[in-house]
A and B are shown apart, each in its own frame.
Chain A
Amino acid sequence: MSTAAGADHGHAHPWYQAHHFKNMEQQNASNKFGMWLFLVQELLFFAGLFMAYASMRYFYPGTWLEAAEQLDKVMGAINTVVLLTSSLTMALGVRAAQLGQNKQVAAWMVATIAGAYGFLIIKYFEYSHKIHVGLLPGKWFGFDELKTTATNAPQIFFSVYFMMTGVHGLHVVIGIGVIFWILFRALRDEFGPENYAAVENVGLYWHLVDLIWIFLFPLLYLVR
């Protein structure tokens, strides 16, 4: 709608204001409110996974203790730091957008994307190690060491692990996509004091992705 020039309706508005909004205030408030609702929705989506985690851990407390040993705590911890840092660079990017400093927005977005890639690369190493030794979900599970101890259902732990980190990882990938979109728009010098809602919303999304990892890390890696 933004292409429809305001002029022929008699009331002019900036190009970044969509036609059906009366003013920027309304548009920004709507966008932000919409984003918060989206985040609530995301939280409930993950809540389902957390419930599955809780029930399975309740059924198999012993399994959880033993199987969690197989995860690489160091890599998990590094990844936590990487994501936290990228949240920081994201926040700085939002700040720059509010000030209309598009060059800096771009720079911070590049930094955030780098963090996101860093996270995925580390995750890739973790995953490939698990795939290699057979620490896999469900019927693909093939790690004999755990099979023969008193632990039962270790495959369920890894099912939960892969479902949770997989869905989270998917969110990181989507995050990279939208951050690239912000980067692109920053390079075209689009943001300014009135028009930064997109950056802010992507920022909120990214913080949520980060927040979820902050829960995943202790729940999966640091079981005791």
Chain B
Amino acid sequence: MTMLLPLMTASAARAEGGTFWMPKAASTYAQDVDDVFYFIYYTDAVFFAVLMAAMILMAIKYRRKGEAEVTPVIKGNHTLELAWSVFPTFLLVAMFWLGFKGWMNMAVPPADAMEVRVIGQKWNWTYQYPAANIDGVDYPSFEVAGADAACMDRVTDPSRDIECNAALVVPAGKPVKLVMNSRDVLHSFFVPDFRMKRDVIPGRYTQQWFEAPEVGEHNVFCTEYCGDRHGYMYSKVQVKSPADFEAWKLEQHKKAAASGLVSGAELGAQLFASKGCAGCHKIDGTKLVGPWLNGKFGTVEQLEGGATVTIDEGYLRESILVPGAKVVAGYPPSMPPYQGQLDDRQVEGLIEYIKSLK
């Protein structure tokens, strides 16, 4: 181990821009994670080397020479015992602290992060981009999903799905926030180059964020076991220059507009009318049977019974599917549950719609 050490360190053995241990560091916080890694790594290496050297040397030096050998009675040594209990403690606390700091940074997305919805479904990833107003034109939201058939044709090895699956496209140098949920079982969205991973859960939203400073391509793996083709649930993150990204995005928006396929907020608006929501909810800041729904997203709601809740995707979903669970203060619990009447896509549409109401 000790001899191999130089080989395994940061400087040596660079494999495709990574090190012996870590793949290339392609997000703003990846280097932090690697620094913590190497801190633990060297601490571990020193402890390991010292302990094992002691063990091996003593095993050789004190090897039994004859059956009659008598050994001294050493029952312990308080100083020594105290030393090896206390000294590591400091190092362990340091590890915790470094890890904690890095983690908090990874957990809290910057306020100006661009948002993309990620949906996990056996066994591929779908990315939804919100509707946008570009140069005064309203464009609908769009999504990228599935595998490119032509590409699949070309690549015969099924394990190379990764080449053909739809990629998450993001701009370089801008923070991106992923708001994720699953349509079936647990999945997990892992980008090794970003040191980023989070479970994707049905019926609940999780999020994570990253900022990739440079243009490039990075693997996405599903790391929560999800059945048969868990090992094939690949995708990529494509980091484009901001200009390329904007061009790509405009093109996608236009395609979506042309196809006439409603998705996201438009679908939500239609459902809001057709499912009777509008009968109880106004979107002009006035009260009907239920509370108004414009300008609500991100605010804090007072609940019956004194609790409060921040209105986020998870709360909206729950309010639609299971309104009885958390009742807004001052209103009767009279909203019907929509569980079983709306599919996931529709709920998401409604949520998008409510989010868009200013």
Q: Could you say which of B9-17, B105-113, B223-231, B333-341 contacts chain A?
A: B333-341
CA distance A60 to B334 in the complex (A): 15
B327 contacts A by Cβ under 8 Å: yes
B317 to chain A, nearest CB (A): 12
A153 contacts B by Cβ under 8 Å: yes
Per the 8 Å Cβ criterion, residues 145-187 of A in contact with B are 148-153
How many residues of A sit at the interface, in one of the four size bands? 10 to 19
Report A-chain residues with C-beta under 8 Å of the C-beta of B333: 62, 150
User: Which of B325, B327, B339 counts the most A-chain CB atoms under 10 A from its CB?
Assistant: B325
A125 to chain B, nearest CB (A): 29
Report A-chain residues with C-beta under 8 Å of the C-beta of B25: none
A89 contacts B by Cβ under 8 Å: no
List the A residue with the shortest CB-CB distance to B303: A61
A38 contacts B by Cβ under 8 Å: no
List the A residue with the shortest CB-CB distance to B334: A150
A78 to chain B, nearest CB (A): 31
Report B-chain residues with C-beta under 8 Å of the C-beta of A148: 336
A147 to chain B, nearest CB (A): 9
Instruction: Please tell me the number of chain B residues within 8 Å of chain A, measured between CB atoms.
Output: 13
List the B residue with the shortest CB-CB distance to A154: B324
A157 to chain B, nearest CB (A): 12
Per the 8 Å Cβ criterion, residues 118-153 of A in contact with B are 148-153
Report B-chain residues with C-beta under 8 Å of the C-beta of A61: 305, 325
A224 to chain B, nearest CB (A): 12
Q: Looking at the complex, which one of A66, A149, A153 makes contact with B322 (CB distance below 8 Å)?
A: A153
List the A residue with the shortest CB-CB distance to B305: A61
> Chain B interface mostly helix, strand, loop or mixed?
loop
Contact (A150, B305) CB under 8 Å given A62-B325, A63-B324, A63-B325: no
Report B-chain residues with C-beta under 8 Å of the C-beta of A152: 321-325, 337, 339
List the A residue with the shortest CB-CB distance to B339: A152
CA distance A11 to B135 in the complex (A): 102
Contact string against B for A residues 188-200, beta-carbon threshold 8 Å, 1 for contact and 0 otherwise:
0000000000000
Report B-chain residues with C-beta under 8 Å of the C-beta of A151: 324, 337
- Does the CB pair A62–B339 fall under 8 Å? no
Q: Looking at the complex, which one of A59, A66, A150 makes contact with B323 (CB distance below 8 Å)?
A: A150
CA distance A215 to B327 in the complex (A): 28
A161 to chain B, nearest CB (A): 18
Report A-chain residues with C-beta under 8 Å of the C-beta of B321: 152
CA distance A62 to B334 in the complex (A): 12
CA distance A150 to B323 in the complex (A): 7
B75 to chain A, nearest CB (A): 31
- Does the CB pair B337–A62 fall under 8 Å? no
List the B residue with the shortest CB-CB distance to A66: B324
Per the 8 Å Cβ criterion, residues 45-66 of A in contact with B are 59-63, 66
Per the 8 Å Cβ criterion, residues 236-279 of B in contact with A are none
Per the 8 Å Cβ criterion, residues 307-351 of B in contact with A are 321-325, 327, 333-337, 339
User: Which of A62, A66, A151 counts the most B-chain CB atoms under 10 A from its CB?
Assistant: A62
A146 to chain B, nearest CB (A): 10
CA distance A66 to B337 in the complex (A): 15
Report A-chain residues with C-beta under 8 Å of the C-beta of B305: 61
Report B-chain residues with C-beta under 8 Å of the C-beta of A63: 324-325
CA distance A42 to B161 in the complex (A): 50
CA distance A63 to B324 in the complex (A): 7
A167 to chain B, nearest CB (A): 26
Report B-chain residues with C-beta under 8 Å of the C-beta of A60: 322, 324-325
CA distance A150 to B280 in the complex (A): 14
CA distance A149 to B335 in the complex (A): 8
Q: Looking at the complex, which one of A62, A149, A153 makes contact with B327 (CB distance below 8 Å)?
A: A62
B116 to chain A, nearest CB (A): 28
List the B residue with the shortest CB-CB distance to A151: B324
Give 9 pairs: A residue, B residue, CB < 8 Å, sorted on A: A60-B322, A61-B305, A61-B325, A63-B324, A66-B324, A150-B336, A150-B337, A152-B322, A152-B323
Taking Cβ atoms with an 8 Å cutoff, the residues of B that contact A are 305, 321-325, 327, 333-337, 339
Taking Cβ atoms with an 8 Å cutoff, the residues of A that contact B are 59-63, 66, 148-153
Extra inter-chain contacts (15) besides given A59-B325, A150-B336, A153-B339, CB under 8 Å: A60-B322, A60-B325, A61-B325, A62-B333, A63-B324, A66-B324, A149-B324, A150-B323, A150-B327, A150-B334, A150-B337, A151-B337, A152-B324, A152-B337, A152-B339
| 7 nearest A-B pairs in the assembled complex, by CB-CB distance | A152-B322, A62-B324, A150-B333, A150-B324, A152-B337, A151-B324, A152-B324
